[in-house]
Amino acid sequence: MGMYDQIENTLFCPFCGKKNNYFQTKDMANMMYSWTIKDIIKFCSDDDVITIYDECKKCKMWISINLEIRRLKTNEK
């Protein structure tokens, strides 16, 4: 199973619209750290893609989101 990092941002389920606030990833340090999406943007290089995921607490659908750092940095400006 291994360790993972937690994402602190609250994001909406794309299936039912409910807020979910416990996403995780194994694409960062894997040391049980807490990250925000802004932290990930600062830490990662432009060509990285970080996958965050969670199961929706309401509809039980599996949510998997690919954060393309290049696009996120472009949208921040």
pLDDT digits (tens, 9 = 90+) for 1-38: 578 999 999 999 999 999 999 899 999 988 889 999 99
pTM, 2 dp? 0.84
Spatial contact of 63 and 54, defined as CB atoms under 8 Å apart: yes
Q: Hey, what are 20's tokens?
A: 């979910």
| Average pLDDT for 40-62 | 95
When computed from its CA atoms, the radius of gyration of the chain, rounded to whole angstroms, is 13
